[in-house]
Structures are given as C-alpha cells and as structure tokens.
Amino acid sequence: MTSTDLANGTSLSIPAPASPYQGDIARYWDGEARPVNLRLGDVDGLYHHHYGVGDVDQDALGDAADSEYEKRLIAELHRLESAQTDVLLDQLGPVGRDDTVVDAGCGRGGSLVMAHQRFGCRAEGVTLSAKQADFANRRARELGMEEYVHARVCNMLATPFETGQAKASWNNESSMYVDLDDLFAEHSRILAPGGRYVTITGCWNPRYGQPSKWVSQINAHFECNIHSRREYLKAMADNRLVPQAIVDLTDATLPYWELRATSSLVTGIEEAFINSYRDGSFQYVLIAADRV
C-alpha cells in the first residue's frame, strides 16, 4: 500500500499497482492537467476524458472574428464530448434506480454523474489515479450525489465488486491501457447474467495490415497500447460477452477533431487522429455486448 495527500487535506491509502506499467500510468494521470480536459469541463462541471461525436453547430460558433468565439468553440467541443457519453449510455439498456453501473477507467467522473442523472442508479468508478478519484468524489459531493456516485483507486482488472453485482459496465476510451482478455474476464465476472457491457474506443483497423505511423504516435503520446477491432471481438467471445451492436463512429468523431485542431487547446496529437481516421488505419468504434 502507498498513500497520497488529497485536496481536502486527508491521506488516502492506495493499493500498490499490479505492474510497473500500471505504476507509470497512475503517475501519468496523477500529473495530467491538460487545459483541454479542464477547460471543457469548466463549461458546466462535467469533466470528461474522452472525445466527441456529432456535427458541429456552426450557428452556435458564430463569427470566428468575434471576441467570444473561442469561448463558444470550447463550449461546442464540450457539447460534443457529452453527446458521446449520451451515445454510450443509450446502449446500456434498462437500468433502474436500485441498479449499480461500473465505469472502468472513470477519469474525473463526468460519465458517472451523467449515468446517475439519467437512471437514478448507483454509479461506481475505478481509476488508477488518486487525484482523479479525489476530483470525481469532490464533484459528487458538490452536486449532492455522494450517496450514489463514487470513484475509487483500483485496478480495473481486479475490482472489489461482488460477482454479478453490476447491471451494466463500460470502458470509455480506457481499454487501451490493459490486456483485453483480463479486462473482459473481470467485466464478465461483475456483470449479472444478461447485463450489458459497452465500450467506445479507438482501434487500429486490421484491414490496414498493421498499426500505422499515426496509431504509433497516439500510443506514444498517451503511453498506451491500442488494440485492433478483431482483438476486441475475440476477447469478448472468449469471456461470455456477446456483441449486440457494433457501431462505427469514425465519421461522427471527425468533426470534433477538426474543430479542436483550430482551437487554443491543441496538444499536438490532433493531426495523428485526423489523418488516421481519414486514411482508414484507425477507427472509432462502439461495441455493446450482453453477458451470457
């Protein structure tokens, strides 16, 4: 066990990472404070760690020469990333107030809040980052949701949830940090029979032949290991998760990236996403599967 000081002045005991790589990822996200994540969340208090889908509302942006244009652009990027969460939640199926849902790799907790707001359910998140968990729990308290929304520092491959406890679970752009067989074995364990698992993820396209140079740049930028679409489907089949929907969101996410590339929040990775989506070497995919 290790400990870290939280924003409220308390100390939190944290399980030791299961591997040196997980330790590296925990340190990466503990130190992450990109304006692109924080300024978008400041729009309405929903802090995400994923990208957006949908067409850009050009009327909402207005004239690029206007002094308020950048502020409106940031609000539009945030609208698109919240729309992405809505797309994921749409696939969870019927979730009741007495049900539990699990976000594996919850970041600062934006999706947890949205899940509780929609379903009234208990929303549990896990993250390797103590700072992210502290941030998410602080926001839950500020919103008066702490009884229902909770994030903890935890390895998503070995969660503390009971077998069959979850009605639904998901990974939203977090599955590229783990082995897929181990990940889906854990989701299969915590899901009740008939429960729904959903992932939205970037994956390299097997038809391209190998991961492209753009995909390699994305891996290096985020210190992750992007999987192929084929690997997702095989690992699901091996772990009692039967796909019910596979949706290619590549065209739907391009407007987000093209808009972000014109903003003051560029991080340098925008070109790799745009070019890999355009040349077909990278795909943005939603897969919804039932636990059988």
Q: Give 13's pLDDT tier (boundaries 50, 70, 90).
A: very low
What is the mean pLDDT of the segment spanning 193-200?
Answer: 98
pLDDT > 90? residue 31 = no
Domain boundaries, the chain: 2-291
pLDDT class of 16 with cuts at 50, 70, 90: low
Q: What type of residue is 206? A: P
pLDDT of residue 35: 75
Single-letter residue type at 225:
N
Return d(Cα 275, Cα 215) in angstroms, integer: 10
Tell me what the mean pLDDT of segment 60-83 comes to: 96
Q: What is the pLDDT of residue 36?
A: 82
What string of DSSP letters covers the chain? -EEEE-TTS-EEEEPPPSSHHHHHHHHHHHH---HHHHHHHTTTT---SS---S---HHHH--TTSTTHHHHHHHHHHHHHHHHHHHHHHTT----TT-EEEEET-TTSHHHHHHHHHH--EEEEEES-HHHHHHHHHHHHHTT-TTTEEEEE--TTS-SPPTT-EEEEEEES-GGGS-HHHHHHHHHHHEEEEEEEEEEEEEE-GGGSS--HHHHHHHHHHT--PPBHHHHHHHHHTTTEEEEEEEE-HHHHHHHHHHHTTSTT--S-HHHHHHHHHHTSEEEEEEEEEE-
Q: What is residue 140's predicted lDDT score, i.e. its pLDDT? A: 98
Q: What fold does the segment set 2-291 form as a domain?
A: Rossmann fold (3.40.50)
Q: Are 244 and 286 in contact (CB under 8 A)?
A: no
Residue 32 pLDDT more than 90? no
- Quick one: pLDDT at residue 15? 54
**Could you read off the pLDDT of 114-140 as tens digits, one per residue?**
999 999 999 999 999 999 999 999 999
Indicate whether 12 pLDDT > 50: no
pLDDT over threshold 90, residue 113? yes
Q: What is the pLDDT of residue 6?
A: 44
Q: What is the pLDDT of residue 89?
A: 98
Q: What is the pLDDT of residue 33?
A: 72
Length of the chain: 292
Please state, rounded to an integer, the average pLDDT across all residues of the chain.
93
What distance in Å separates the CA atoms of residue 218 and residue 205, rounded to the nearest whole number?
14
pLDDT at 253 over 60: yes
Instruction: Give the whole-number percent of the chain exceeding pLDDT 70.
Output: 94
pTM: 0.92
Inform me whether the pLDDT recorded for 5 exceeds 60. no
Residue 10 has pLDDT above 60, yes or no: no
3 pLDDT more than 50:
no
